[in-house]
Amino acid sequence: MADKQATLTYNDKTIDLPVLEGSVGPEVLDIRKLYGQTGAFTYDPGYKSTGSCESALTYIDGDEGVLLHRGYPIGQLAEQSSFMEVSYLLLNGELPSKDELDDFTYTISRHTMLHEQLSTFYRGFRRDAHPMAIMCGVVGALSAFYHDSTDISDPEQRKIASHRLVAKMPTIAAMAYKYSVGQPFLYPDNSLSYTGNFLRMTFGVPAEPYEVVPAVEKAMDRIFILHADHEQNASTSTVRLAGSSGANPFACIAAGIACLWGPAHGGANEAALNMLREIGTPDKIPHYIERAKDKNDPFRLMGFGHRVYKNYDPRATVMQKTVREVFDALKVNDPLFETALRLEELALQDDYFIEKKLFPNVDFYSGVILSAIGFPTTMFTALFALARTVGWVAQWNEMISDPAQVIGRPRQLYTGPTQRDYVPVGQR
For the chain, helix, strand, coil in percent to 5 are 55, 5, 40
| DSSP for residue 388 | H
Binders in 307-326 for ligand CMC, by CB under 6 A? 307
| Residue type, position 40, single letter | A
- Residue 23 Cβ vs ligand CMC, minimum distance, rounded to whole Å: 23
Secondary structure string (H, E, C) spanning 58-125: EEEECCCCEEEECCEEHHHHHHHCCHHHHHHHHHHCCCCCHHHHHHHHHHHHCCCCCCCCHHHHHCCC
Measured in whole angstroms, how far is the alpha carbon of residue 385 from the centre of its chain?
6
- Encoded one letter per residue, x for contact with ligand CMC by CB under 6 A and - for no contact, window 220-239 reads ----------x--x------
- Residue 366 Cβ vs ligand CMC, minimum distance, rounded to whole Å: 9
From the candidates 306, 351, 402, 421, give the one annotated as an active-site residue: 306
**# chain residues binding ligand CMC, by CB under 6 A:** 20
Binding of residue 354 to ligand CMC (CB under 6 A): no
Binding of residue 305 to ligand CMC (CB under 6 A): yes
14 forms beta bridges with 9
**Interface with ligand CMC (CB under 6 A), residue from 363, 365, 398, 399:** 363
- d(CA 267, CA 136) in angstroms, rounded, equals 14
Q: Which string of b and e fits 28-58 if b means at least 16 CB within 10 Å? A: bbbbeebeeeeeeeeeeeeeeeebebebebb
For ligand CMC, give the closer residue by CB, 59 or 104.
59
Binding of residue 306 to ligand CMC (CB under 6 A): yes
- The yes-or-no answer on residue 130 being catalytic is no
- The yes-or-no answer on residue 363 being catalytic is yes
**Interface with ligand CMC (CB under 6 A), residue from 179, 194, 304, 365:** 304
- Encoded one letter per residue, x for contact with ligand CMC by CB under 6 A and - for no contact, window 236-275 reads ----------------------------xxx-x-------
| Residue-by-residue DSSP string for 181-210 | HTPPP----TTS-HHHHHHHHHH-BTTB--
Binding of residue 292 to ligand CMC (CB under 6 A): yes
Nearest Cα residue to 229 out of 377, 105, 55, 95:
55
For ligand CMC, give the closer residue by CB, 167 or 383.
383
Binding of residue 65 to ligand CMC (CB under 6 A): no
**Interface with ligand CMC (CB under 6 A), residue from 109, 180, 232, 361:** 361
- Residue 106 Cβ vs ligand CMC, minimum distance, rounded to whole Å: 31
From the candidates 221, 229, 313, 363, give the one annotated as an active-site residue: 363
Contact in structure between 223 and 82 (CB atoms under 8 Å): no
- Residue 315 Cβ vs ligand CMC, minimum distance, rounded to whole Å: 8
Degrees (nearest 5) of the Cα angle 86, 51, 17? 140
- d(CA 229, CA 147) in angstroms, rounded, equals 27
- Residue 207 Cβ vs ligand CMC, minimum distance, rounded to whole Å: 37
For ligand CMC, give the closer residue by CB, 31 or 289.
289
Binding of residue 366 to ligand CMC (CB under 6 A): no
- Residue 62 Cβ vs ligand CMC, minimum distance, rounded to whole Å: 10
What length does the chain have?
A: 428
- d(CA 229, CA 387) in angstroms, rounded, equals 8
Q: Helix, strand, or coil here: 245?
A: coil
- Residue 292 Cβ vs ligand CMC, minimum distance, rounded to whole Å: 4
**Interface with ligand CMC (CB under 6 A), residue from 115, 159, 300, 321:** 300
The residues annotated with a catalytic role in the active site are: 306, 363
Residues at the site binding ligand CMC, with contacts judged by CB under 6 A: 230, 233, 264-266, 268, 292, 300-307, 356, 358, 361-363
